[in-house]
Amino acid sequence: MKNPQLNKHGELQHLLTTEGLPVGIIRDILDRATTFVDISDGLEIKKVPLLHGKSVFNMFFESSTRTRTTFEIAAKRLSADVVNLNIGSSSTSKGETLLDTVDNLCAMHADMFVVRHAQSGAAHFIAQHVAPEVHVINAGDGRHAHPTQALLDMFTIRHYKKEFHNLRVAIVGDVLHSRVARSQIHALTTLGVPEVRVIAPKTLLPAMVENLGVQVYNDMVQGLRDVDVVLMLRLQNERMQGAALPSAQEYFKYYGLTVEKLARAKPDAIVMHPGPMNRGIEIDSSVADGSHSVILSQVTFGIAVRMAVMSMLAGTK
Amino acid sequence: MNIHIKNGRLIDPKNNIDMVRDVFIAGGKIAAIGAVPGGFVATQVIDASGLVVVPGLIDLAARLREPGYEYMATLESEMEAAVAGGITSLACPPDTDPPLDEPGLVEMLKHRALDLNQAHVYPVGALTSGLKGQELTEMAELVDAGCVAFSQADAPLTDTRVLMRAMQYAATFGFSVWLRPQDSFLAKNGVAHDGEVATRCGLPSIPVCAETIALSTMLSLARETGVKLHICRLSSAAGVEMIRAAKRQGLAVTCDVSMNHVHLSEMDIGFFDPNCHLSPPLRSLRDRAALRAGLQDGTIDAICSDHSPVDEDVKQLPFAEAEAGATGLELLLPLLLKWARQDKLALPDALAKVTLQPAQILGLDAGHLSAGAAADVCVFDPDACWKVEPGALKSQGKNTPFNGIEMQGKVRYTLIDGKLVYRS
């Protein structure tokens, strides 16, 4: 089956998922992002003209402030024209089909769509139907994938740990409903991390998750032993209604990241979270704000990684 | 009209015939096989040299979408598709709008179908009023109107007391109850098999136990009530094993599988192909192998097309939002032949799953070509290759996981009650 995110030359045409993304392309994105971190840090120039004259449409069918904002900043720093469409509250509620919306936006000569949608596979669906010159970036589709989040996580890990081949990484929390977890798992295994663990109660793990190349732990204390990186996941409040969990309090007691539990990890372990955090539910404030936390670096690097992806897709070569 | 089908390879599973034999048709019936009957003068001769002559196919699940969903398909388009697929009898589930829960609706459907002069249509009546799972329908009246069995289609029936009463009432009259086993709580919002692919794709899933729990309830109630139970569209290895055990214990249960599930698995979802959004979901390769084994050892009695034409507006959507179902009438025969080739089955054994066996489940004297039987005949070219393309299908539903796939086996002639209704 043809990889839907690569063109016939094996170059990135869309960024839809980290699954099946060649390791060379992942490394190129991370390397390119490094150059943008320097730009963002330098006070004089924050803007480069790589996407000058290009139109980037942020199509958010599901609300998100943070991700949309970072994509918008990234596009603007690349000198693109950015259009934000909050589609959840416009056309689809008037009965327009997703394909009609896509066709209309293509007719406005968009160069790139940044898509967030509540349904798994929505970004693939849109990528299959856009005009051939349009690029699609998946900014999160259902439970399936959130590749730019995973790539910025990889960037952050590389920044602090330098290498991937000697790491033990634990992903903690609601793996079942998490697009972030899936994308992290594929990115980590592709980059050669020898041991990826997932830690969660059985109600928050999908069937046969071990087939993704991870080790499953139901006990967080055991699962965190000697890990180098702890990737926390956000817990949605709805999980209590769906009978997946009894209470936030019990969840925090057994699966919330506290200083005591983190003591099982390596002394130089880093703690990450895709945000927004539920303090006191999946992570204790003393950890979130503590010395192991690199959560704010993730946000900063997120802009650089998104600049890297956008410029690789549509930038002047 | 006297028709002489000559030089064809006649396959009739019921009469154990698989050899070149001429078929003589007169007065809408099979007049004779082999030797020309006395006084027979053919008004039409069909040269079936190199072709296979079989009883017309009988499909246990074909949605014609009338009444209520004419925007998806009409009786005209789907009946044309049926005969193009060599199907001469079909049972249609009650999941229309309104559901087939009143004699008037059934009479209307039968009447419309009769006017079209094509395949015989056998409506399956709603087991409960409005398929709501609360009150029984007037089953005896519905049978008088033309229903051949009763079903909930894909609508849930969670109240086991209602289900037991429905079975008892049906058993009173000797009616069959057809049920698709799926626990509605476990299946809630699910769109794919609870396995590797759903996990990878992040699709809400339906575990196998949704099927086995419902099946266990249905089998227990069938034992309790003595109803003739037919299980529709089995999907899992565990389900096959339960039916096998029930049959071994002597329970009068029959079951079918959809042709899609004979050939496809969760792997075919690939990159979210909405054409593979089916109900029940495509399960693992292991499940598919068990379904095939169940067909071979007789645990699964019949194969249906599970024909569900869906229009593009509701199919061309992200996987979970896309309407479940695929068009199937015109693919039933070539996919049956493909299965027979792959599993090295004798053609008569394979064909029995779409002729003789479904006829028995429906309680019809059909699905065979004995002298005196209705002349419902399909003549196909076993070697002709064609490619599945939306434009090549008569059905208004163009959605199928087999789009673009090369098929071997093409219907040349379809006869119903001795009348030639299709030729290509």
If residue A168 lies in a helix (H) or strand (E), which one and from where to where? strand A168-172
Asked if omega into B309 is within 30° of 0 (cis), the reply is no
User: Residue A97: what pLDDT?
Assistant: 82
Domains of chain B: 2-53+373-423 (2.30.40.10), 56-362 (3.20.20.140)
Task: State pLDDT tens for residues A121-153.
Answer: 999 999 999 999 999 999 999 999 999 999 999
Alpha carbon B241 to its chain centroid, in Å, reads 21
Q: What is the DSSP letter of A144?
A: T
Q: How far apart are CA B72 and CA B396, in angstroms?
A: 7
Q: How far apart are CA B272 and CA B263, in angstroms?
A: 18
A125 CB neighbours in chain B (<8 A) are: 272, 274, 317-319
Of A120, A179, A211, which is closest to B196 when you measure between CB atoms?
A211
Q: What are phi and psi of B152, to 5 degrees?
A: -95, 5
Q: Are strands A112-117 and A135-141 parallel, antiparallel or unpaired?
A: parallel
The CA distances from residue B236 to A317, B47, B178, B181, in Å, are: 51, 43, 18, 11
* Same fold for the pair A23-146+299-314 and A148-295: yes
Specify whether A32 is catalytic.
Answer: no
The residue written with tokens 């565990």 in the block is B238
Closest CA of chain A from B331, distance in Å: 23
> Does the distance separating the beta carbons of A19 and B320 come in below 8 Å?
no
> Is A116 at the interface with chain B, CB within 8 A?
no
Q: How far apart are CA B345 and CA B412, in angstroms?
A: 23
A183 against A61, higher pLDDT: A183
Over chain A, what is the mean pLDDT? 92
Q: What are phi and psi of B68, to 5 degrees?
A: 105, -35
Please return the burial class of B161, using the count of CB atoms within 10 Å of its CB with bins 0-12, 13-18 and 19+: exposed
Amino acid found at A248: A
Q: How far apart are CA B59 and CA B78, in angstroms?
A: 13
Q: At what angle do helices B237-248 and B208-225 cross, to 10 degrees?
A: 20
Specify whether A17 is catalytic.
Answer: no
The answer to whether residue A297 scores a pLDDT higher than 90 is: yes
Closest among B319, B61, B330 to B197, alpha carbons compared:
B319
Residues of chain B with pLDDT under 50: none
User: Residue A44: what pLDDT?
Assistant: 53
Q: How far apart are CA A213 and CA A19, in angstroms?
A: 12
User: Residue A91: what pLDDT?
Assistant: 52
> Does the distance separating the beta carbons of B207 and A120 come in below 8 Å?
no
Q: Are B61 and B259 in contact (CB under 8 A)?
A: no
Set A2, A9, A94, A202: catalytic member: A94
Q: Would you tell me which CATH number, out of the four given (3.30.390.10, 3.30.70.1400, 3.20.20.70, 3.40.50.1370), belongs to the domain A23-146+299-314?
A: 3.40.50.1370
Structure tokens at A304: 């650089």
- CATH fold group of domain A148-295: Rossmann fold (3.40.50)
Mutation choice for B interface testing from A5, A101, A102, A208 by most B CBs within 10 A = A208
Q: How far apart are CA B23 and CA B8, in angstroms?
A: 8
User: Residue A270: what pLDDT?
Assistant: 98
Q: Are A216 and A208 in contact (CB under 8 A)?
A: no
The residue written with tokens 């004995």 in the block is B370
Closest CA of chain B from A209, distance in Å: 7
Closest among A192, A127, A116 to A154, alpha carbons compared:
A192
Q: What is the DSSP letter of B140?
A: H
Alpha carbon B263 to its chain centroid, in Å, reads 15
Q: Are A255 and A173 in contact (CB under 8 A)?
A: yes
Residues counted in chain B: 424
Could you count the other beta carbons within 10 Å of the beta carbon of residue B325?
24
Q: Are B125 and B101 in contact (CB under 8 A)?
A: yes
Closest among A156, A166, A106 to A131, alpha carbons compared:
A106
User: Residue A42: what pLDDT?
Assistant: 58
SS3 B284: coil
Q: What are phi and psi of A167, to 5 degrees?
A: -105, 155
**Interface TM-score (ipTM) > 0.90:** yes
Structure tokens at A178: 């998490």
Question: What's the sign of the alpha-carbon dihedral B162, B164, B170, B172?
Answer: negative
The answer to whether residue A66 scores a pLDDT higher than 90 is: no
If residue A190 lies in a helix (H) or strand (E), which one and from where to where? helix A179-190
The residue written with tokens 């090369």 in the block is B406
Set A66, A97, A203, A253: catalytic member: A66
pLDDT, mean of residues A239-243 = 80
Q: How far apart are CA B108 and CA B110, in angstroms?
A: 6
The answer to whether residue A72 scores a pLDDT higher than 60 is: yes
Q: How far apart are CA B380 and CA B56, in angstroms?
A: 11
Closest among B145, B147, B109 to B126, alpha carbons compared:
B147
Task: State pLDDT tens for residues A188-240.
Answer: 999 999 999 999 999 999 999 999 999 999 999 999 999 999 999 999 877 77
Predicted confidence band at A288 (pLDDT cuts at 50, 70, 90)? very high
Enumerate the domain spans of chain A. 23-146+299-314, 148-295
> Is A142 at the interface with chain B, CB within 8 A?
yes
